[in-house]
Amino acid sequence: MTENNLITITIKLFANLRELGPAKTIEKFQKDTTVQVILDKYQLPFKEMKLIILINGKPHITPEYILKDGDVLAIFPPLAGG
């Protein structure tokens, strides 16, 4: 596998998801990795609850999203406030 097949992703976890993984980490993945892979890697409870997923500040991202080099992935538990 050449360096060209790798993408660099910043992963940020928030609120109680920080019990399952680091608040912020920069990791390399193979090209065409989906958000699902990261949900699985950290065993984030996406089946149990509607996690809120943002890529580069854009919300409503689904697990099928294919990550691109340099993406910032932010994952939150269901939340709201005001």
Partner 1 sequence: MPKRILRVNMNNLEAKFEDFPADFAALGGRALTSTIVEKEVDPLCHPLGANNKLVIAPGLVTGTLAPSSGRLSVGCKSPLTGGIKEANAGTPFSQQLAKMRIAAIILEGKHKGSEYYTLKVTMDKAEFTSADKWVGKGLYDTYQSLFKEYGDKVGICGVGIAAELLGASSGICFNDPEGLPSRYAGRGGVGAVMASKGLKFIVVDDTGAPGVEILNEEAFKEGAQKLRKALTTHDVTKPGGALNSYGTSVLVNIINEAGGLPQRNFSAGQDDRSEKVSGEVKAEIIKERGGKRPHACNPGCIIQCSEVWCKPGGKDPVGVLEYESVWALGPNCGIYDLDDVGELNRACNDLGLDTIEAGGMMGVAMEGGLANFGDGKKALKLLDEVKNKTPLGRILANGTAFTAQAMGVTRVPVVKGQSLPAYDPRAIKGIGVTYATTPQGADHTAGYAIATEIMGVGGTADPMDTSKADLSRNLQVATAAIDATGYCLFIAFAVLDIPEGLEGVVDTLNGVLGANLTVADVPGYGQSIIDVERKFNKAAGFTEKDDRLPEFFLKEKLAPHNTVFDVTDEELDRVWGP
Interface contacts to partner 1, rule CB under 8 A: 12, 14-16, 18, 49-50, 52, 54, 57, 59-60, 74, 76-82
Nearer to partner 1, 6 or 52 (CB): 52
Nearer to partner 1, 30 or 62 (CB): 62
Nearer to partner 1, 3 or 50 (CB): 50
3-state secondary structure of 81: coil
DSSP 17-76: GGGTS-SEEEEEEETT-BHHHHHHHTT--TTTS--EEEETTB----TTPBP-TT-EEEEE
Q: Minimum CB separation from partner 1 for residue 66, in Å?
A: 19
Q: Minimum CB separation from partner 1 for residue 7, in Å?
A: 20
